[in-house]
Amino acid sequence: MRPKQAPLYDPEYFRSLGHEIIDILADHLKDSLETKRPQVLPWRPPDQQMQHWKEIDHTDMEPKALFQEILSHSISIHDPRYIGHQVGMPAPTSLLFDLLSSYLNNGMAVYEMGMAANCMERLIIETLCSRFGLPTETAGGVLTSGGTLANLTAMLSARKAMASRWQGKRPAVMVSEEAHYCIERAAMTMGWAQEDVIKVPTDERFSMQTQQLEPLYQEALGRGQQVIAVIGCACSTSTGSYDDLATIGEFCNKHKIWFHVDGAHGAAAIFSPTYAHLLEGIAKADSIVLDFHKLLMAPALATALLYRKNDTSFQTFQQQSAYLLDLQQDWYNSGKRTFECTKYMMCAGIYGFVKAHGWESFGENVTTLFQHAKAFATQITQHPHMKLATPVQSNIICFRYEEEGLSTEETNQQNAFIRQAILENGVSYIVQTTLRNKLFLRLAVMNPFTNETHIEALCKDIEAYALQWSSTHASHAETSAS
């Protein structure tokens, strides 16, 4: 049946199309996991891709055919050769509960528009607070749309809570130079200057040099700034390095300033008995951000923002809205504490998942991915010329191809060439990052089905592209010499 002829809200149409679409997705999942398709990424340059979407008029296409069309022009996150960005592969249970969220469309801001939702969210938050060791009498939090928004919300909360400290001065925060760019973006959004985000240098493992906190704090005071918070990375985006949260927590405690942990990626380690130690000291945090759509198998976006003192979350946004919200601190009217007014019921995907599989399966996923990353790093460095940026701490591996006799700039060019060739070839998907002016290839092991065979194939491709670059480079050199 053509979409135009289909009645808009016909339950039988919904039922039959729904069954067909789930079949398509199940087949896609199977083919992805078994690497049946030649590529994880059917690469086309943006303009060519746009040309295709303009030329193929999808107006009369059956919805199932359009589904296939979208799938076949998208990167496949469930394919084990996807080892790129930190977007996790959604588990079927989570994504089916997400479908329920889309169907119900309960906006959640006020209680009656999300009765089940506000309760599920509160239960998730309570479990998280207790896992992180925040005091049960005072702790609380919210779910919100992504780590970026959650970090901004936490920084607004810190500014509000610390108002008596910074009034008459310029508020500032201190954060590792390796922090995600969203911290600086949040500061800009708050109307701060770039200098109000004080970057703390990192050590050889790209973790914050905590001994620099005191001198930088004193220098800031001298300039008329008041540091209101230190933000710890757990872990950093580029290299997956964990900051020493225990020391940062002590520092914040000493100066009576806010301690925020950006654990968007790596705070998930709390569920892993093997790796929870990386978060030692997190229980001292005033606020913590944790993304479920990274290591915890939920579809994007689903982020928890936890507070040591739940009260502070109510003070962040105090707009009065006569028809919606009053100033009472009621947990069940969630719109008082988040940017979103109409908030997606992201809790259903998480709640459904933990009821079906248990909180422990989060830990198992984290343990597996971290262990795989360590093993893959060893495997990679067994290849000549492949050097790690730093030992692996989480599921992120940074390495590069280093050929003797090349300058740093040439090595950067060679690695950029390798990455671009891998992208365009589409058989595997990896990304790149720059650390201290050196360009590195970067893998985020997000898929527990990625194995040594996939990594070996990737290494072979890297070697082949490196040689290709060298031969072009050599012939350039010869051409210019002649």
227, 264, 270, 441: which one contacts ligand PLP (CB under 6 A)? 264
- Residue 237 binds to ligand PLP (criterion: CB under 6 A): yes
Smallest separation, CB 306 to ligand PLP (Å): 15
In angstroms, rounded to a whole number, what is the distance separating the alpha carbons of residues 312 and 158?
A: 8
Task: Report in angstroms how near the CB of residue 298 gets to ligand PLP at its nearest.
Answer: 11
Question: CA torsion 403→407→413→418, rounded to 10°?
Answer: 10
**287-291 and 303-307 strand pairing:** antiparallel
Residues facing 287 on adjacent strands = 260, 307
232 binds ligand PLP (CB under 6 A): no
Which residue type sits at 178? E
Q: Does 335 bind ligand PLP (CB under 6 A)?
A: no
Q: Quick one: DSSP state of residue 302?
A: -
The span of 142-150, 197-205, 214-222, 408-416 binding ligand PLP (CB under 6 A) equals 142-150
> Which residue has the closest beta carbon to ligand PLP?
147
Minimum distance of ligand PLP from residue 396's CB (angstroms): 9
Task: Based on the shown chain and the rule CB under 6 A, indicate whether residue 148 belongs to the binding site for ligand PLP.
Answer: yes
In degrees and rounded to multiples of 5, residue 185 shows phi and psi of -60, -40
Selected binder of ligand PLP within 80, 146, 299, 352 (CB under 6 A)? 146
How near is the Cβ of 180 to ligand PLP at its closest, in Å? 4
Name 159's Cβ contacts closer than 8 Å, sequence gap at least 6: 166, 171, 190, 228
Per rule CB under 6 A, is residue 262 in the interface with ligand PLP? Answer: yes
Q: Which of residues 172-231 bind ligand PLP (CB under 6 A)?
A: 180, 182
The reply to whether omega before 301 is within 30° of 0 (cis) is yes
| Helix ranges restricted to H, 203-306 | 213-222, 245-255
* Closer residue to ligand PLP, CB minimum distance, 395 or 411: 395
User: 157: part of which helix (H) or strand (E)?
Assistant: helix 147-161
- The answer to whether residue 291 forms part of the interface with ligand PLP (CB under 6 A) is yes
Closer residue to ligand PLP, CB minimum distance, 147 or 363:
147
* Cα distance between residue 66 and residue 479, in whole Å: 50
Q: What are phi and psi of 85, to 5 degrees?
A: -75, 170
What is the size of the binding site for ligand PLP (CB under 6 A)? Answer: 14
- Residue 229 C-beta: closest distance to ligand PLP, Å: 15
Stretch that binds ligand PLP, among 163-171, 194-202, 258-266, 392-400 (CB under 6 A): 258-266
CB of 367 to ligand PLP, least distance (A): 20
Compute the distance between CA of residue 230 and CA of residue 200 in angstroms, rounded to an integer: 10
CA angle 450, 386, 435 (to 5 degrees): 90
What residues make contact with ligand PLP under the rule CB under 6 A?
A: 86, 146-148, 151, 180, 182, 237, 262, 264-265, 291, 301, 303
